[in-house]
Copies of this chain bind each other. A is one copy, B any other.
Amino acid sequence: MELADARIRIDYANTLGFIDTSAMESAHQRIINAQQLLASRSGPGADFLGWVDLPSQARTDLSPILEAAARIRAQADVLIVVGIGGSYLGARAVIEALRPPFAAEGPAVIYAGHHIDGAYLRSLMDSCGDHRVCINVISKSGTTTEPALAFRVLRQWMEQRYGREEAARRTYATTDAQRGALRRVADEEGYTTFVIPDDVGGRFSVITPVGLLPIAAAGIDIGAFLDGAIAMRGIAAGTNPDSNPVLRYAMLRDALYRQGKHIEVLASFHPELTVVSEWWKQLFGESEGKDGKGIFPAAVTNTTDLHSMGQYIQDGERRLFETFLFAERSADDIVVPEVAGDTDGLNYLAGSGFAEVNANALRGTALAHLDGGVPNATILLPGINAASIGALLYFFESTVALCGYALGVNPFDQPGVEAYKSNMFALLGKPGNEARRSELLAQISRDGNAVAG
């Protein structure tokens, strides 16, 4: 299948001076090998390749999700989505990319359970006032601390507000098919449930009900979103880097990293893509950042951050490369008005659209940063709509799989996420962690006198 909105391109002219032919050729070889490893499902993490074929699988029957989404839209002024990490960022990235930033139609979507902040949760509940509320709680196990704690509080609050039965009708659980704490509660209470597949990791789960249910409830066309991802699935299978932007982006990243460019700055020129960049940071940081390796992913939103991180990128240490993200068509544009007297000297722009000014900000920035010694490429989106965002997310998922394999890591695990949790459980006195608790407390008290102020 082919779809104009999925035709993502990458302009890499401003990297050519940094990568010679032989470096590009070895990167090409490594990425092609990685592509074969992925296709043959013989690389590390092969049990977590469910994401590869998800778009077309999900597309076959959207009706349960669409029905639940329609019910939420009828039931609620506010949808509280409870989840963290991959159970949080995907839906939020897509919703904020595609809804108007102010005064969207349909339920407001608010996030909870993505940190441990009591004042936030209190303010959230207070603000609901007389609004009608639904909850979508998302957790594979149901025991992840942050969403589980928030759900304890919100469930109690919903049951006080609506009574137990009506609260259950307003609660949607996305969880394991059979096992786990949330599955048990959901079955007992009779929540509407959706399944998180076993072979899809959290950061790849936006195309499962984890992402699709809140996205659909926000009024976004998930059919078009999936069509974009399906089209990109076709493109990503190509073996020619001139027509497959996944291969090209993966090659650039691989080659630049091996030349000492250890930081990638994803620089979008669209504020509505700020959470897409956050999602990208999780996807790339968690997939590559292991075994003492990996590009450090950072993000800026321009032109805002040209007045912030712009100075560093232009003139600081030369250990970074930049990936711009730009949409070539922009909806609902505003034209610069003429001002009598031209006080601010901007009448030369009168009649231009904001999008045109923004496009020239991108072009000017790319050349300025090139002059400053920063290799940079530009990912060109055909627009910002459900299909192009579906294509973009799948584009990034496909790229990181190849880059992780080329780097020699398992791009589908995240062993390092457990370390803080096990310390935290021990410090909190979770039964069974007594020995570790004593060790940690001893360490803290031994080092505890190095405090200034």
Q: Does A302 sit at the interface, judged by CB under 8 A?
A: yes
Q: Does A57 sit at the interface, judged by CB under 8 A?
A: no
Q: Does A25 sit at the interface, judged by CB under 8 A?
A: no
Residues of chain B with a CB closer than 8 A to A349's CB: 149, 428
Are B118 and A420 neighbours in the complex by a CB distance under 8 Å?
no
Are A271 and B311 neighbours in the complex by a CB distance under 8 Å?
no
* Stretch with Cβ within 8 A of B (4 or more), from A37-45, A166-174, A205-213, A358-366: A358-366
Residues of chain B with a CB closer than 8 A to A336's CB: 149, 152-153
Residues of chain B with a CB closer than 8 A to A235's CB: 453
Contact flag A314-B117 (CB < 8 Å), given A149-B354, A357-B428, A440-B367: no
8 closest cross-chain pairs (CB), A and B: A289-B312, A85-B307, A364-B423, A289-B316, A314-B416, A102-B127, A9-B453, A13-B447
Are A344 and B312 neighbours in the complex by a CB distance under 8 Å?
no
Are B100 and A119 neighbours in the complex by a CB distance under 8 Å?
yes
Cα separation A8 to B427 with both chains bound (whole Å) = 24
B414, B444, B450: the one contacting A12 at CB < 8 Å is B450
Q: Does A179 sit at the interface, judged by CB under 8 A?
A: no
Mark A272-304 against chain B: 1 for CB-CB distance below 8 A, else 0: 100000100110011011111110111001111
* Stretch with Cβ within 8 A of B (4 or more), from A47-55, A65-73, A139-147, A216-224: A139-147
Cα separation A100 to B245 with both chains bound (whole Å) = 44
Q: Does A126 sit at the interface, judged by CB under 8 A?
A: yes
Cα separation A278 to B345 with both chains bound (whole Å) = 30
Are A85 and B308 neighbours in the complex by a CB distance under 8 Å?
yes
Cα separation A431 to B301 with both chains bound (whole Å) = 28
Cα separation A15 to B306 with both chains bound (whole Å) = 32
Residues of chain B with a CB closer than 8 A to A290's CB: 311-312, 315-316
Are B8 and A453 neighbours in the complex by a CB distance under 8 Å?
yes
Residues of chain B with a CB closer than 8 A to A416's CB: 310-315, 372
Q: Does A355 sit at the interface, judged by CB under 8 A?
A: yes
Residues of chain B with a CB closer than 8 A to A3's CB: none
Contact flag A118-B330 (CB < 8 Å), given A298-B298, A424-B364: yes
Cα separation A242 to B452 with both chains bound (whole Å) = 5
Are A10 and B289 neighbours in the complex by a CB distance under 8 Å?
no
Cα separation A120 to B311 with both chains bound (whole Å) = 25
Are B316 and A115 neighbours in the complex by a CB distance under 8 Å?
no
Cα separation A146 to B384 with both chains bound (whole Å) = 21
Are B123 and A100 neighbours in the complex by a CB distance under 8 Å?
yes
Contact flag A10-B308 (CB < 8 Å), given A103-B126, A360-B428: no
Are A343 and B142 neighbours in the complex by a CB distance under 8 Å?
yes
Contact flag A308-B337 (CB < 8 Å), given A103-B126, A123-B101, A292-B318: no
Are A372 and B419 neighbours in the complex by a CB distance under 8 Å?
yes
Are B308 and A281 neighbours in the complex by a CB distance under 8 Å?
yes
Residues of chain B with a CB closer than 8 A to A285's CB: 308-309, 311-312, 316
Given known contacts A145-B361, A310-B416, A313-B416, what 14 new A-B pairs fall within 8 Å (CB)? A102-B126, A116-B357, A122-B334, A143-B344, A149-B346, A149-B349, A182-B344, A289-B312, A293-B317, A297-B312, A306-B417, A310-B420, A314-B417, A360-B424
Cα separation A316 to B404 with both chains bound (whole Å) = 12
Query: What are 20 A-B contacts with C-beta separation under 8 Å?
Result: A84-B307, A103-B129, A117-B358, A118-B333, A118-B354, A119-B332, A120-B271, A145-B361, A202-B307, A243-B453, A281-B308, A289-B312, A289-B315, A290-B312, A290-B315, A292-B317, A294-B312, A348-B429, A364-B426, A364-B440
